Amino acid sequence: MLLEGKPLKGKELESLKQFLKRMELEYDEEIEYSACILNEEYDIIGTGSVDGNVIKCVAIDPEYQGQGLSASIISQLVQYEFEKGRSHIFIYTKPKNLRMFADMGFYTIVETKEILFMENRREGFAKFLKELQSESPRKALEKEGLAGAIVANCNPFTNGHRFLIEEALKKCDYLHLFVLSDDRSTFSAEDRYEMVKRGIHGLDRVILHRTSDYMISSSTFPTYFFKDQAKGKKANCRLDLELFAARIAPHLHITKRFVGTEPFCQVTGTYNMEMKRILPSYGIIVEEMERMEQEGTPVSASEVRRCLERKENDRVKELVPDAVYKYLMQEAKEFRTES
């Protein structure tokens, strides 16, 4: 048997897709590298892939299970990740695979009925929680006042985001603002965080956090092990929300979560519906707030991106805070145009 690891194309890629289909998995188009074990007839009998620092699409043909092939694949993938300078590695998989990945040095972050989320650092999530607490004022951690939360991508930060934050601050004493660290947006995670930091200037009761790899964008949920993609997206919503509600919110004494209405994105709209269904059972009130409008139209980051592509800078200036506009024009390191 041969172990091959590389970005696959052409017939090899089609063979991998067909194998995954037989294993009841879908090939994820975000995959950058795959490792495959072949039998003597050069048919795939085991595989695993990576997308950034996430291992995904691990599968072994039932006929060859119990021979240690999974360990060989994971070892190959981890080696690839380390060569890319990625030492913190994550896995989204089915709960039935808990023992297998635990035996290979992965630790559970959160588990739901449908999904298991793991990492290769025993104290990784505990360290993340300590960082969140270190960024928070002492009074907030001592439950002096009501703490709320907003989780946002801010791609880029707009007057609409500022409006939502200001309105939320009227209803709580401290507001934890989590900026998603996923780096697949039009603007890099670093640029988005810096724009938010500048955009909230003067709002002293806002506590700014990076989400690291523990909270992800609803548009990038892993759904490769669901035949029904819509059902997969809902399951991933539940995973993200239960991680927030059960493991993050209690450490920061968060009892309210604010979200803007979502008239444009169906995925985000579904996520908001799941939020209103799940979080109250953990004692977290969800308040959906009307988005800021200009000339009868909700202010959106997508409109800002379209204006940037068209070089309509005067319109951009109307939609974002002055400090953010200056950053966009002079300092933003990368703007990935949308296709």
Q: Is the peptide bond between 156 and the residue preceding it cis, with omega within 30 degrees of 0? A: yes
> CA–CA separation, 315 vs 276, rounded Å?
34
3 state SS of 328: helix
Residue 231 has pLDDT above 90, yes or no: no
Specify the DSSP class assigned to residue 279.
G
pLDDT digits (tens, 9 = 90+) for 76-98: 999 999 999 999 999 988 899 99
Give the pLDDT confidence of 36-71 residue by residue, as tens digits.
Answer: 999 988 899 999 999 989 999 999 999 999 999 999
Q: Report the distance separating Cα 5 and Cα 75, nearest Å.
A: 11
Residue found under tokens 């060989």: 72
Residue 212: CB partners within 8 Å, gap ≥ 6? 128, 131, 181
- Angle between helix axes 189-199 and 159-169 (nearest 10 degrees) is 60
Distance CA 321, CA 163 (A): 10
d(CA 77, CA 6): 10
Helices and strands in the chain: count of H runs, count of E runs: 13, 14
**283 band by pLDDT with thresholds 50, 70 and 90:** very high
Tell me if 325 sits within 8 A of 316, measured CB to CB. yes
pTM: 0.89
User: DSSP secondary-structure letter at 224?
Assistant: T
Q: Would you list the DSSP string of 6-73?
A: E---HHHHHHHHHHHHHTT----TT--EEEEEE-TT--EEEEEEEETTEEEEEEE-GGGTTSSHHHHH
Q: Can you read off the two tokens belonging to residue 95?
A: 């709960």
Burial grade of 246 (CB within 10 A; 0-12, 13-18, 19 or more): exposed
Report the pLDDT value the prediction gives residue 339, as an integer from 0 to 100.
Answer: 38
Name residue, tokens 């052409």: 10
Q: 33-42: per-residue pLDDT in tens?
A: 999 999 988 8
Which pair of tokens denotes residue 87? Answer: 């030492």
| Residues 196 and 154 sit within 8 Å (Cβ to Cβ) | yes
Mean pLDDT of 159-177: 97
Residues 174-202 have pLDDT tens digits of 999 999 998 777 899 999 999 999 999 99
